[in-house]
């Protein structure tokens, strides 16, 4: 399973990339707005740090402008995945860019039917938003299960399931159990993944007991 980080903060990306666990990055207009920086500068900085796919979302919603924006974003680096919304115009852009060899991440997916359309449009990634479904009392993880089932039924679909809008570690664990290809994780959730109270407790005991030996390994 691939781990992407869901942020446009280059310092956060560098910190997580240093673990060797990072396979890619996703950004969106809200995350870019938080940085106060120029979008293409951010993307150039990220692509210097991360070799895997870096999702860059178009800002327009009409086909003519989205295709121009997508082509411009794709030129920033070879590992840019152009992110488009799951609309009819968005999927037209997806098909055209995919046919031209550009990676495309189709975002704002909230139904299995939408995921089926994205796969037919040649998306590299489909991004179902689990947290936002949970927020409105729907079952986000059931959507992941449904998409995995559908995609597995049709091996000709090459679209990878990229679980987005992850809010806590169990979203990741359940996604992995369902066989989702990618999870994009907010930095906070990545830090939570390492934590277990018994690890902290056990480590503190080992450190204390080691002191009693009076030895040094170095």
Interacting residues toward ligand G3P by CB under 6 A: 6, 26, 28, 129, 131-132, 164-165, 184
Of the candidates 108, 144, 109, the residue with the CA atom closest to the CA atom of residue 30: 108
- Hey, how many other C-beta atoms are within 10 angstroms of the C-beta on 107? 25
Q: At what angle do helices 10-17 and 187-194 cross, to 10 degrees?
A: 30
Residue sitting closest to ligand G3P (CB) = 165
Rounded Cα distance, 60 and 175, in Å: 31
Nearer to ligand G3P, 188 or 201 (CB): 188
Smallest distance, ligand G3P to C-beta of residue 141, A: 14
Nearer to ligand G3P, 175 or 184 (CB): 184
Nearer to ligand G3P, 165 or 175 (CB): 165
Is 188 part of the annotated catalytic residue set? no
CA atoms within 13 A on the CB side of 33: 5
Please, which residues bridge with residue 62 across strands? Answer: none
Smallest distance, ligand G3P to C-beta of residue 76, A: 18
Nearer to ligand G3P, 46 or 164 (CB): 164
CA atoms within 13 A on the CB side of 11: 2
Query: CA of 162: how far to CAs of 16, 78, 175, in Å?
Result: 19, 20, 9
Smallest distance, ligand G3P to C-beta of residue 162, A: 9
- Hey, how many other C-beta atoms are within 10 angstroms of the C-beta on 140? 24
Cβ atoms of 81 and 104 closer than 8 Å: yes
Nearer to ligand G3P, 121 or 162 (CB): 162
Rounded Cα distance, 109 and 70, in Å: 19
Smallest distance, ligand G3P to C-beta of residue 112, A: 18
**Catalytic residue of the set 83, 92, 95, 195:** 83
Positions annotated as catalytic residues are: 83
């Amino acid at each position: 399973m691939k781990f992407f980080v869901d942020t446009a903060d280059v310092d956060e990306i560098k910190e997580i990339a240093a673990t060797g666990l990072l396979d890619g990055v996703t950004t969106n207009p809200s995350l870019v707005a938080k940085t106060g920086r120029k979008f293409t500068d951010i993307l150039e900085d990220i692509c210097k740090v991360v070799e895997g796919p870096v999702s860059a979302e178009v800002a327009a919603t009409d086909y003519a402008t989205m295709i121009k924006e997508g082509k411009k974003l794709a030129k920033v680096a070879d590992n840019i995945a152009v992110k488009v919304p799951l609309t009819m115009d968005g999927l037209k852009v997806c098909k055209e860019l995919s046919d031209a060899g550009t990676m495309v991440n189709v975002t704002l997916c909230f139904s299995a039917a939408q995921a089926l359309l994205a796969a037919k449009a040649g998306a590299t990634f489909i991004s179902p938003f689990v947290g936002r479904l949970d927020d409105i009392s729907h079952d986000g993880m059931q959507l992941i299960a449904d998409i995995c089932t559908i995609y597995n039924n049709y091996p000709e679909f090459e679209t990878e399931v990229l679980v987005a809008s992850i809010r806590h570690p169990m979203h990741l664990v359940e996604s992995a159990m369902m066989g989702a290809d990618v999870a994009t994780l907010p930095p906070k959730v990545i830090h939570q993944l390492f934590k277990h109270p018994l690890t902290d407790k056990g480590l503190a005991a080992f450190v204390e007991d080691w002191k009693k030996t009076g030895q040094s390994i170095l």
